[in-house]
Structure 1
Amino acid sequence: MSAALGCSIILRLFLRRQTLAMPGSLYLLSLGLLLSGTPSLANDCPYRPTATEQFDYMLDLSGNGEYFLFWKFNTSHITFEAHAKTHGWLGLGLSPTGRMYPADMVTGWVKSDGSIVFTDRFSSSYYPPKKDESQNYQLLRAEENEFGTILKFSRLLDTCDSKDFVISGDTVRVLYAYHPDDPVSEDRLIYHGGSRRGFKSVRLLESRAKIPDLPDDVQHFDFLNGINGKNNMINLPARDTFYHCTTFNMPDIGGKRHVIRYDPVVTPGNEKIVHHVVLYRCRGEEPKYAHMDYDCYAATTDYRPECRSVFLMYEIGAGSFIWPEHTGLSLGAEGDPSFFVMETHYSNPDLRGDIWDNSGIRIFYTNQLRQHEAGVMETGMEITLTQFIPPHEDSFLSEGICSMECLKLGLPNATDEIKVFALFHHSHLLARGMKTRLIRNGVEQPPIANDENYDFNYQAANVLQKEITIKSGDSLIIECNYQSMNRTNVTMGGLGIREEMCLSFLMYYPKVKVDACLSSPAHDAPSDFQIDQMTSYLKQVDHHSHGQMNRLNSMINQIDWRNPSVRTKFRNKAKLSGFDNQCFYRGKKVLGDYFQRPEVNTPYQKPKSSCTT
């Protein structure tokens, strides 16, 4: 792989490598795809320009080394420095969707006489962006050099201008554009063309810290697909969605160790095909089944190990993950997992049959044990056919509940608590927003995480600004906001990209024995809605049976979903219905009872804006 290619796909921190002694700090080395055998390409980028000062973060927006963005922030302001390979004009924008409108933008260039043009703009249509009446971006520096043009500027996180994007912890699409020539005037920008524009998703205010060096005692091992295949590769079937499973015995690592980091290992060229990798730990040791490869969810699969507990996961757009220095994931001790199943979700929309892959996970561990044992808890909605998203909806909410009863199995005493330091939100193509809500004694606390601009193609860890405490007696509501305007049929929960999920994977400490705290909708609220007739049938459907699935789809899509009153009736029914518990304790389902949505007597209110109307 060329260094230039590495530059184009890796988002990394632009800092010298050093260890940061900050308790509670979480390190996320890279928010881009990290390729096999390439733990860091920060020094291998031949196209990277030099920033005018030390910045915390850097992103190759163009993907080809022609437009770089550096940035840093504090509690009130953010400073950007854009480097574009042009001596013409360049622009930078912030958008919730990735479209060129609506968007908050700046443009600038250095004229032939050395004078500078820099303008705060906004776009509301396909026409060139207009000059904002309120110029809220402060130019700090502009110059041309051998690389191209530099624009350095700052702004408030919230400018109190309705035409400016409020910068928060949400995902934002950072737009870029440039042109080789200067405009003839400030009011007549030259069209950038199709090849000199684009966007990338990022959380600008990510709570990441400086890149630490790995201590000398750290070792690693790999779990990779294809260990039994031709040339240690697997040949993917020509299917839109494929879940491949490989089993592994735990290697001998010499006793109890703490996992402190893992890297996704993605076969070069397959970055858009490997959607996610989940490593499950299994109950008991099954050495005779080690190094098996099979279709995870095929009806013909004879072997299904009892592996329900998530150990590690990598999702599209994510990168290396490093635990806070006071926590680690235990491996190698008595009672620790000795057998694993790695599930790799491949998305192959072009139905190609010529794809070979050996992607997986690289796990780093240390014999210097940390203060706390960390865990991973899956929360939200069980992957189920009873999740319905009607078509033609601009905004439709689905909820998965982590019940108080399930959490209490892991937090049995009134004083028990866990601390969440990061999480992964996971949904599919229809999701536009995801929120992990925390309910305590009927009072909704500030959300653990809330991303109103969720991007399916950017599912990196959400590193929390500060650790959030979950106490015994609390419950969680995982909320997914879907947009289905372009669908003509109901979308159900399922494994495929065009089906949906609503999950939040909590990274926390100290480790408890609850592995998954999920629910499924019961659809029990009485109504005259036709779906009542199929509720019991839904729970019996075998999704591997084409006949049963065809019958189910026929029943559901006989409903006139184009009628707004029908969709409203279904939405009201969903709000009044209860849930079935899907609680997994030490790898086994222990609760399956019916329960009602937790009462929220006092909803959370966002802090009032300091902006005056």
Structure 2
Amino acid sequence: MKEDYSSALAALRKALEIEEKHLTSNHLYKAYTYASMTKVFYGLNDYQQCLEYLERAIQITHQNKTPSYPMQSYDRTIELEKNIVQLWWTVDDIEQEITFELHVKTTGWIALGISPAGGMKGADIAIGWVDSSGKSFLEDRFAVGKVTPITDNTTHDWILLHGQERDGWTAIQFKRSFDSCDPMDVPIRSGTNILIYAYGLTDSIMYHEGRRGTRILPLRSYSNQVTDNILDGLDLFDFRFDNLPIPSTDTTYYCKVFKSPNQYSTKRHAIAHEILIDTTHQNLLHHLDLFECNSNEILDDSNLPDGICDNIITQMRMCSSNLATAWAIGADPITLYPKEAGYSIVNFKYFMIKIHYDNPKMMSNLRDSSGIRFYLGNNLRENDLGYLVFGTSSNAASLAIPPNVRRFIVESYCPSEATRNLPSTGVNVVSALPHTHLQDIFKGISINLFVVCLEAFDFDHQFANRLRKPIKIYPGDEFATRCVYNTINKDKITLGGQRTIDEMCSHTFSYYPFVDSLSACMTRIYLIAWKIQMNSSSMIDDLELEHTLRNLTWISQSANQWQTFYNEAQRVVAIFRGGEIESKILPNRPKYKDFKDEL
């Protein structure tokens, strides 16, 4: 009997190996295999493995679980509260409206709203229910504060389409225009939107008693989602850590170089990638960057760089300029590339994964096997996909945000020299991923015209904003980025840095066709400007500046003076071109109509 179980286990492991190569990480077939392995391990009296594979099967089943089928097909869906609240939506740019379908595990009222600041006050809310006869209702309401929202007595702009109750779930389908021009409505903007939801246990609209939530989403620019198993059967490969020990420090950046697979005799195009998140400690993974290594460098395949990033900084420099993709906490694990472009995969290409682990409780004995998977299309696409990074360098000379302020503005600039070598026909930007840490409340980037404006930013949900239409960048175009920070909860200065409690301000674009003449453009304040600001008789280096900044005493007037300094200080711009860095001093602060002095 034991031999039968062993043979079954070998067959199941072989099946799982095939599934790993050809199926997505959360494909339901893998849950079936895990469930079968659970029975085998039980028969072998290996109860620990039995429980482990049972948990894997349950996890994938939950990921594939839909509370009830939507009334029609939609472009987007997201689970707002696990196993309780599911939202579907489709954007109609022609009609300038969005069709929503909200499902909640209750037979009482359900509500979805757009909030201007994340709370109840000023929120535009749709409240719906289905009565005992099966009739559906939807009311347009406005929240004046933390009380029952009042009826919108101007115009009714949440339009009921259908509703139903089934198996303990209430589902309401409705639509709303992007901007109704109603003073009691909140526009659905092209950047991020703050959604609030709530539900009750009966149809009588009364206090939700904590049955509520908030989520920041780019409703009109949500990344393409994988549907109909379009990745099934494609060739794929992984770059993945192997049971990596995570240090018991609050912040760790770990870097490891991988070599691309050599079984492909010709160039291939990846059409999607998937971030493989080790679910054992998934909350520790803050963000993951993948870089292409400089093709001119010679690497030893038997001794590829691998370690804490700061400990191998010399070896990793050859792999730190050209971003291959980026992911941040809360984003979707799978990204589909635009149909016009694919990411180029060729033999003898090296990549470096750089992962930020956030371990604020400094837990020990943790291990991680996260990584990235590429799905290869069967045919080459017309263009190669590339990535550009713009923003402010992450150090004290670039970001020094005073404490106890509601708004502190940091801007960066990239001059026309950066784009001088782009093709005359331009390149097409298709998505923008903003990235900061805990203090940011607004992000925007301008390329001669405004590209993306995130009026609300959520550290735990950092999405790549897929543009509804690609935006062209031409030779001579300039860039400007703006981040606005709120440090009202802090009594000490916040500096630029790698830790979660430090700050960043960057934007990553995906674009096509790929060019090697520009990969990044980052700004910092000129050290001479710091010398003048700190009233120093000699030049200040980075370490001395950081020490001085951390020991500043702040008074009420200091923040305004500091903002003036940031607005007027000279900047140094570092332009990254195919492994080379070109520096330029900006003597004056550029003026852009998109970035007014007051937002």
TM-score (norm 1): 0.80
Please report how far the alpha carbon of residue 290 of structure 1 lies from its aligned counterpart in structure 2 after TM superposition. 4.3
- Of 93-102 and 251-260, deviating more is 93-102
Distance of 2:188 and 2:159 partners within structure 1: 16
Q: Percent identity?
A: 27
Deviation by residue 1:103-135 (Cα, 9 ceiling, x = unmatched)? 221223234465655322222332232332233
Q: How does 1:162-181 map to 2 (within 5 A)?
A: 162-181=183-202
Please report how far the alpha carbon of residue 435 of structure 1 lies from its aligned counterpart in structure 2 after TM superposition. 1.1
2:531 and 2:538 in contact (8 A); partners too:
no
2:433 and 2:462 in contact (8 A); partners too:
yes
1:407 and 1:517 in contact (8 A); partners too:
no
Distance of 2:586 and 2:249 partners within structure 1: 38
Q: Does 1:404 align with 2:394?
A: no
Distance of 2:136 and 2:392 partners within structure 1: 53
1:141 aligned to which of 145, 150, 162: 162
Deviation by residue 1:269-307 (Cα, 9 ceiling, x = unmatched)? 433221111111112231246454311124x86744421
Change (3 A) 1:567 1:366: same
Question: 2:73 is matched with which residue?
Answer: 54
Deviation by residue 1:361-391 (Cα, 9 ceiling, x = unmatched)? 0012235221112211221112221121111
Please report how far the alpha carbon of residue 558 of structure 1 lies from its aligned counterpart in structure 2 after TM superposition. 4.7
Distance of 2:231 and 2:530 partners within structure 1: 60
Deviation by residue 1:146-171 (Cα, 9 ceiling, x = unmatched)? 23222222222212223322102222
Question: 2:253 is matched with which residue?
Answer: 243
Residue aligned with 1:246, SS: strand
Distance of 2:219 and 2:343 partners within structure 1: 28
Please report how far the alpha carbon of residue 416 of structure 1 lies from its aligned counterpart in structure 2 after TM superposition. 5.4
2:225 and 2:334 in contact (8 A); partners too:
no
- Of 349-358 and 125-134, deviating more is 125-134
Question: 1:464 is matched with which residue?
Answer: 467
1:493 aligned to which of 496, 503, 521: 496
1:382 and 1:582 in contact (8 A); partners too:
no
2:413 and 2:590 in contact (8 A); partners too:
no
Distance of 2:137 and 2:538 partners within structure 1: 63
1:587 aligned to which of 567, 574, 579: 579
2:508 aligned to which of 500, 505, 509: 505
Distance of 2:87 and 2:233 partners within structure 1: 35
Please report how far the alpha carbon of residue 517 of structure 1 lies from its aligned counterpart in structure 2 after TM superposition. 1.5
| Higher relative contact order, chain-length normalized (CA < 8 Å, sep 6+) | 1
Distance of 2:375 and 2:178 partners within structure 1: 37
Distance of 2:105 and 2:316 partners within structure 1: 53
1:347 and 1:497 in contact (8 A); partners too:
yes
Residue aligned with 1:193, SS: coil
Residue aligned with 1:287, SS: coil
Distance of 1:401 and 1:475 partners within structure 2: 8
Q: Which amino acid aligns with 1:220?
A: L
Question: 1:202 is matched with which residue?
Answer: 217
Question: 1:422 is matched with which residue?
Answer: 431
Q: Does 1:293 align with 2:306?
A: yes
1:249 and 1:287 in contact (8 A); partners too:
no
Distance of 2:79 and 2:231 partners within structure 1: 29
1:401 and 1:597 in contact (8 A); partners too:
no
Please report how far the alpha carbon of residue 223 of structure 1 lies from its aligned counterpart in structure 2 after TM superposition. 0.6
Change (3 A) 1:305 1:367: farther
1:249 and 1:290 in contact (8 A); partners too:
no
Q: Does 1:344 align with 2:355?
A: yes
Q: Which amino acid aligns with 1:472?
A: P
- Of 496-505 and 42-51, deviating more is 42-51
Alignment: residue pair count: 532
Question: 2:50 is matched with which residue?
Answer: none
Change (3 A) 1:150 1:168: same
Q: Does 1:327 align with 2:338?
A: no
Please report how far the alpha carbon of residue 218 of structure 1 lies from its aligned counterpart in structure 2 after TM superposition. 3.5
Structure 1's unaligned 5+ residue stretches are 1-8, 11-35, 184-188, 227-232, 440-444, 542-547, 607-613
Please report how far the alpha carbon of residue 209 of structure 1 lies from its aligned counterpart in structure 2 after TM superposition. 5.1
Q: Which structure shows the bigger proportion of residues in helix conformation?
A: 2
Cα RMSD after superposing both structures: 3.0
Q: How does 1:201-600 map to 2 (within 5 A)?
A: 201-206=216-221, 208=223, 211=226, 214=230, 218-226=234-242, 233-252=243-262, 253-283=264-294, 284-288=297-301, 290-298=303-311, 303-308=315-320, 309-318=322-331, 319-332=333-346, 338-366=349-377, 368-386=379-397, 387-408=399-420, 410-411=421-422, 415=424, 417-439=426-448, 445=449, 447-513=450-516, 514-522=518-526, 524=528, 529=533, 531-533=534-536, 536-537=539-540, 539-541=541-543, 552-553=546-547, 555-563=548-556, 565-589=557-581, 591-597=582-588, 599-600=590-591
Q: Which amino acid aligns with 2:418?
A: C
Residue aligned with 1:406, SS: helix
Distance of 2:502 and 2:203 partners within structure 1: 47
1:285 and 1:339 in contact (8 A); partners too:
no
Change (3 A) 1:496 1:102: farther
Distance of 2:191 and 2:123 partners within structure 1: 15
Question: 1:67 is matched with which residue?
Answer: 85
1:419 and 1:468 in contact (8 A); partners too:
yes
1:418 and 1:470 in contact (8 A); partners too:
yes
Deviation by residue 1:584-611 (Cα, 9 ceiling, x = unmatched)? 221122x2231235644x62499xxxxx
Question: 1:161 is matched with which residue?
Answer: 182
Change (3 A) 1:234 1:66: same
Residue aligned with 2:447, SS: strand
- Of 485-494 and 516-525, deviating more is 516-525
Distance of 2:200 and 2:412 partners within structure 1: 47
